[in-house]
Amino acid sequence: MAKLFTPITLRKTEIKNRIFVAPMCQYSAVNGIANHWHLVHLGGLAVGGAGLVMVEATAISPEGRITPSCLGLWSEEHAQALQPIVQFIREHGAIPAIQIAHAGRKASCDVPWRDGKFLSKEQGGWQTVAPSAIPVTPEHGTPVELSHSDIQEIAAQFLATAERALAIGFEVLELHCAHGYLLHEFLSPLSNQRQDEYGGSLENRCRLTLQIAKDLRKFWPQDKPVFVRISATDWVQGGWDIEQSIQLANWLKELGIDLIDCSSGGLILDAKIPTGPGYQTVFAERIRKEAGIASGAVGIITSALQAEHILATGQADVILLARILLSDPHWPLHAAKELHVDLTWPEQYVRAKHL
């Protein structure tokens, strides 16, 4: 059996294979509410054979959205819209997961196919917030520096969102601390220049992430896993880097976090990133080995043999796929054939199995 198609058990949650759908923003919600697009998109990925299907970055508040079209889970109405999607994912053999997030200073932007430009209040945007009043670029609005009470309110919103997620049947929770969004902004000295207990030293910059992770792990059922997605480096000298990421991973492991989802970048928009096949896998490998915690590899992983090699050589425990699944939602079924694994296909599609 290829490693890619062996099950993995995290706490008491058994996932049928190691192909995880990475959270991918669809920019298709109305007032943060999921709709038919999300059902078809996520449901199709479950039908396609992935072991775990993770819902896109889901905002904990209206102001926490990246764009006005991003998904949210800040009310019961939002929860009710997501519930049938969760049910469909589970019915088709995948584990339903959700990533919860706050966009921080990168909020209030237009959708990518309209260039993703910052939106003023007159254009339908809103005031952004951040650890420090430092804009992403001069073209972005200057964020308001969060007060101590603001920080505690945001921590409470993360917990309240997790409570809604559990109530509608999600089995895995992921905390978004990557890609230049709010919690990453607290981690990096390039965006966090606070002088209080949330800024300065590495321990202080990690304080909010660790506080929220502790709250989530304490609340989330002990038999279900909690992941954290990080940007392992800013790709800029003097910024957040892999050594700090390893220390953070150690602290998160002590709190009971089960897996580190290892991405990179996003804080500095003009950072020079040496992209290429599997270019972030080295981060997953170092965190897995040096922090002793399960890790996920993500980033330009496109072939079955490449994914299998990453797992077989101990570089990561799971593979998170994104754009290749947009191109081919049935990639896991095709990968199984390539690796000579006799995977069970959905009955409705079985006539195509031997094409």
**Mean pLDDT of all residues in 324-339:** 97
Contact between 328 and 335 under an 8 Å Cβ cutoff? The reply is: no
- Per-residue model confidence as pLDDT tens digits over 248-258: 999 999 999 99
Q: How confident is the model at residue 34 (pLDDT cuts 50, 70, 90)?
A: very high
Q: Which two tokens stand for residue 170?
A: 């999600």
pLDDT per residue over 151-185, tens digit each? 999 999 999 999 999 999 999 999 999 999 999 99
Over residues 189-209, the mean pLDDT reads 98
Tokens of 191: 């965006």
The residue type at 52: L
Which DSSP string corresponds to 90-151? HHTT-EEEEEEE--GGG-SB--GGGTT-B--GGGT----EESSS--SSTTSPPPEEPPHHHH
Tokens linked to 334: 């095709």
Give me the pLDDT at residue 224, please: 98
Dist. CA 50–CA 89, nearest whole Å: 10
Tokens, residue 329: 């939602």
Active site residues: 181
Task: Determine the 3-state secondary structure of 212 from DSSP.
Answer: helix
Q: Is the pTM of this model over 0.95?
A: yes
Q: What is the pLDDT of residues 274-294, one digit of tens each?
A: 999 999 999 999 999 999 999
What confidence tens digit (pLDDT) does each residue in 92-142 have?
999 999 999 999 999 999 999 999 999 999 999 999 999 999 999 999 999
Domains and CATH numbers, the chain: 3-345 (3.20.20.70)
Please give the mean pLDDT across all residues of the chain.
97
pLDDT mean over 225-251 = 98
Percent of the chain whose pLDDT exceeds 70: 100
The arithmetic mean of pLDDT across residues 329-340, rounded, is: 97
pLDDT of residue 1: 82
Distance of CA 262 to the CA centre of its chain: 9
Counts for the chain of helices (H) and strands (E), in that order: 10, 12
Cβ distance 50 to 91 under 8 Å?
Answer: no
